[in-house]
Structure 1
Amino acid sequence: MNSINGWQQLVNILSETSDPKDIDVICDFLLTKEEKEQLSKRILLTKELIKKTKSQRDISKEIGISICTVTRCSNALKDCSTRVKEIFSDNIKGD
């Protein structure tokens, strides 16, 4: 069994789970506190970059991450699929 197969299994498990509490339980089991914190910051960063209302430096200070991380995520957004941006944009509207 390889890691890609394991990742796909995780995607399948999460996509079949409709209760946010169950997803939280799964994430609590699989991720350390630090991993959850980093993932949380990456989500916040991505949403801020998509909104385009703040400078990268302001985002860096607000979220508490390095400007290098902000730049890396910004560059990744330039190359990602339109669908990723749509998913995050739809989620931003619900905030």
Structure 2
Amino acid sequence: MINALLRDISSEEDISIVLPLLLSCEELNAINARALIYKELLLAEISQREIAKKHNISIATITRGSNNLKSMSDKEKKLLQTLLIRK
């Protein structure tokens, strides 16, 4: 159901309206933090401790993100790179 809903959203403005209706503030913050962690880890420019300090995120949260990233398939990692690192 959520896949169909998100697929039907046609604008960034609509996404900004719908996501807060579906997710609490804490959930949105957690998703944003996870995306930020994945981006920093995929860039591999700074250490996990530096990521934690730079973005005020606990090292435990970054470690969980790192472990999730390690368990992803190459296809999943490539998709994240495409979506998060827009070069």
- TM-score, normalised on structure 1? 0.81
- Equivalences for residues 63-78 of structure 1 within 5 A: 63-78=55-70
Gaps of 5+ in 2: none
1:93 matched residue in structure 2: 86
Does structure 1 residue 60 correspond to structure 2 residue 46?
no
Separation of aligned partners in 2, 1:31 and 1:56: 27
Q: Give the Å deviation of 1:60.
A: 0.8
Separation of aligned partners in 2, 1:83 and 1:26: 28
- Paired amino acid for 2:86: K
Give the root-mean-square deviation of aligned CA atoms.
Answer: 1.3
Q: Give the Å deviation of 1:88.
A: 2.1
Does structure 1 residue 34 correspond to structure 2 residue 26?
yes
Query: What's the % identity of the aligned pairs?
Result: 36
Number of matched residues?
86
- Paired amino acid for 2:31: L
Q: 1:47 aligns with which of 18, 30, 39?
A: 39
Q: Give the Å deviation of 1:25.
A: 1.1
- TM-score, normalised on structure 2? 0.88
- Tell me: higher relative CO, structure 1 or 2? Use CA pairs within 8 A at least 6 residues apart: 2
Question: Which 4+ runs in 1 deviate beyond 6 A?
Answer: none
Gaps of 5+ in 1: 1-8
